[in-house]
Structure 1
């Protein structure tokens, strides 16, 4: 069997000195459960906006939380409840979540190897690939990477850089359970990429709100619903949570 790994990024890049975190996250699901994911997320979208077709709007964590995009002019109470509903729906899916969180501030203090955007992405993507490949080998499965494209129809520079990182990583491996090169798509067309977007925003927002007066119950509840399915690696490494159980 094959596992689909939908991958998205969050946080800010190396040049941003004002915020601390950069993330890559992957929402993983067996191909045999793909149709279940599509049905259940479609049903959730219909529940949220009965007057819209599910494929006509995109489920994005930032839009829900900040009240923009499809959630513009929607009450904060409804948006907070939506945040929790998305986590509840995902918690019922036979899926797994992998994520890498890089604390850029601490990395600058502890490493001289990372000096630019490319180095940051290479470090983060390599660590995510190691997690995913280890999971595939333990499960004796093959995997396909589906990446949220950062290129436009006029340029493929950003996606090309990612492919080079992937090729370099794979060239150093004796074997890998990934099939083909990463595939690229736009999140508006792929439910799995929308869920990956939600996950990375949830982790990002939770890291910002943790221990602050602005942290709220709905955010904490949404995170706690998905934490049992989550393998989160923090760089520099701080007691990473390792849990390979597929739920």
Structure 2
């Protein structure tokens, strides 16, 4: 809670007032600060925090496979279909979800909620696009919070680290100097946006080849600068 003696009802009223005036990122940040130690929060408040237009129904996210795992989260490849649409017309997306033990950590959950809000405010060709959030378990407010996921665009060309390892393993040139320069320009452009041009100035803190993603560019294999995502 924000302070001792504040009731859940008063928290809800303050969140409603915040939603009328603040940006999505601000709402999510304030929601994170009001989480109780039991992580009790009504489903309607979660929808309010994330914005109905950005809340994706988990039934419309069809599991394909797990594509990544880190110390705090896993990433799944899923097909996102539009309400009433067909799977054939769906879009491949990456779904990031905190590991079970992390979801039980109040601080990690607060950070994850804040991250969801922040990413919705960032728009640049060299940043992975955030599509919204979803909850995999809507059985209760606590379950909804603990199963919160971030839905992002799927970048299909692998990481820069994978490309560099491929180059090290062969005597043949996998990418040209011009393509390497294009990748550098794309990364620099995305970072310049985060540092100076975004609504909320952002420090990446984990920029490395494994976190630089490349979109496929047909037969060329390696995309140009605009096909790089950080």
Q: TM-score scaled by structure 1?
A: 0.23
Q: Give the TM-score taking structure 2 as reference length.
A: 0.24
Select the structure with the greater relative contact order (CA < 8 A; seq sep ≥ 6): 1
Bigger Rg, which one: 2
